[in-house]
Copies of this chain bind each other. A is one copy, B any other.
Amino acid sequence: VSSIAIRFENGKLELLDQQQLPHQEIWVDATHPDNMESCIKQLKVRGAPLIGVAAALCLGEWARSGVSEDEFKVAAQKLRKSRPTAVNLMLAIDRLTAMEFDAEKVFLEAQKIYEEDQQLCDRIAENGSKLIEDGDNIITHCNTGGLATAGVGTALGVIRKAWEQGKRIHVCVDETRPLLQGGRLTTWELEKLGIPYTLICDNMAASLMAAGKINKAIVGSDRIALNGDFANKIGTYGLAVHCYYHRIPFFVAAPVTTIDGECESGQQIPIEERNDFEVRGVKTFAGDVEWAPSESEVYNPAFDVTPSELVSQWILDTGNYSLVDIRENALKELV
């Protein structure tokens, strides 16, 4: 098992510490579920699909390490709660806990979850790349590539695939405050891939759109409701509104596992609120800076919800879906 973000060899599971990117590539041990839990909470590992795969591999190894069924279930429950909005995480863990508790079988199922995620990414990239044309100038938000999944990624995987097909594209990268996944991680991935890009602050996108310098947008998703509404990194909804106003196609790319069959609409998606200090400043590998008064009241939602009417196409591993398809219950038929 190995991707740009996970290494799993001889019973040792390591994660590339994404808080240290792009300046340092440091691998941290996440073999023990307690370590995995803190890696998830501290965003050392992030991206809904990657979190699910990483937690599954961790539990598979934990099962094989000789723990009792009770110990296994305690660890599973703890990991399941470590990131409330990530439905992939819950699905992956439920899949392992629903099985008969047989260490070797649980371990193999976890491997399967990993391989499936890679295949899902490949299919999403293949489907999405049909919507990308030579000369496109594509804006993206947050990080949705090999650092967010076990494979090529979702939204960024689509961009990568289009580039590998020889389409001359340019990417506009939202820095994605407060945690700067765009500025730190998407830039790092695009540098590695050699795809031309321009980094901007989130509040610059609208003026580039008005100037005709962006003609497509593609983002990932942490959870998709049955009516097509979806949760993604804070700022996605604002970007969708800007695209709508400027008549720019807005795509969301995600695996079918991101669809939450229990969730009829976006209003039912819980939004995690994070620590105030993330907004009062930045905390990075390169140092911490707090620039706002320390007594400032802050609002810091990790996600927002984009309603289906702002989405042009849902790019899933099973195909591309229009709003008409969604209204005709395409997502319900997939879960």
On A, residues with C-beta under 8 Å from B are: 22-23, 172, 174-178, 180, 183-184, 187-188, 191, 196-208, 210, 234-235, 237-239, 241-242, 244-245, 279-282, 284-293, 295-301, 304-305
- Determine which of B282, B299, B301 lies in contact with A289 in the assembled complex, contact meaning CB atoms within 8 Å: B282
Determine the distance from Cα of A126 to Cα of B97 in the docked complex, in whole angstroms. 65
- Residues of B near A234 (CB, < 8 A) are 201, 203-204, 207
- Residues of B near A23 (CB, < 8 A) are 291
Whether B202 and A299, one on each chain, are in contact in the complex, defined by CB atoms closer than 8 angstroms, is: no
- Closest approach, in angstroms, between the C-beta of A267 and any C-beta of chain B? 11
* Number of identical monomers bound together in the oligomeric complex: 2
Chain B residue at minimum C-beta to C-beta distance from A196: B297
Chain B residue at minimum C-beta to C-beta distance from A304: B207
- Determine which of B178, B197, B245 lies in contact with A201 in the assembled complex, contact meaning CB atoms within 8 Å: B178
- Closest approach, in angstroms, between the C-beta of A124 and any C-beta of chain B? 24
Chain B residue at minimum C-beta to C-beta distance from A182: B292
20 new A-B contacts, CB < 8 A, other than A238-B242, A241-B241, A245-B245, are: A174-B203, A175-B292, A177-B203, A183-B291, A183-B296, A191-B293, A199-B292, A199-B298, A199-B299, A201-B202, A202-B202, A204-B304, A207-B237, A207-B238, A207-B304, A210-B305, A238-B238, A282-B282, A284-B289, A289-B289
- Residues of B near A184 (CB, < 8 A) are 291-292
Say what secondary structure dominates the interface of chain A: mixed
3 smallest CB-CB distances across A and B, nearest first, come from A203-B235, A206-B238, A207-B304
Whether B177 and A202, one on each chain, are in contact in the complex, defined by CB atoms closer than 8 angstroms, is: yes
CB-defined A-B contacts under 8 Å, sample of 9? A22-B292, A183-B296, A184-B291, A188-B293, A198-B298, A199-B298, A201-B202, A208-B299, A245-B245
Determine the distance from Cα of A183 to Cα of B290 in the docked complex, in whole angstroms. 10
Interface centre among A184, A197, A287 (most CB of B within 10 A): A287
- Residues of B near A235 (CB, < 8 A) are 201, 203-204
Determine the distance from Cα of A234 to Cα of B208 in the docked complex, in whole angstroms. 11
- Residues of B near A191 (CB, < 8 A) are 293, 295-296
Determine the distance from Cα of A135 to Cα of B284 in the docked complex, in whole angstroms. 38
Determine the distance from Cα of A279 to Cα of B199 in the docked complex, in whole angstroms. 8
Chain B residue at minimum C-beta to C-beta distance from A177: B201
Whether A207 and B289, one on each chain, are in contact in the complex, defined by CB atoms closer than 8 angstroms, is: no
- Determine which of B199, B282, B286 lies in contact with A297 in the assembled complex, contact meaning CB atoms within 8 Å: B199
Whether B286 and A291, one on each chain, are in contact in the complex, defined by CB atoms closer than 8 angstroms, is: yes
- Residues of B near A198 (CB, < 8 A) are 297-299
Chain B residue at minimum C-beta to C-beta distance from A207: B304
Chain B residue at minimum C-beta to C-beta distance from A239: B203
Whether A204 and B241, one on each chain, are in contact in the complex, defined by CB atoms closer than 8 angstroms, is: no
- Residues of B near A22 (CB, < 8 A) are 291-293
Whether A286 touches B293, Cβ cut-off 8 Å, given contacts A176-B203, A177-B202, A203-B234, is no
- Residues of B near A281 (CB, < 8 A) are 286
Determine the distance from Cα of A110 to Cα of B241 in the docked complex, in whole angstroms. 46
- Closest approach, in angstroms, between the C-beta of A284 and any C-beta of chain B? 5
Whether B241 and A206, one on each chain, are in contact in the complex, defined by CB atoms closer than 8 angstroms, is: yes
- Closest approach, in angstroms, between the C-beta of A169 and any C-beta of chain B? 14
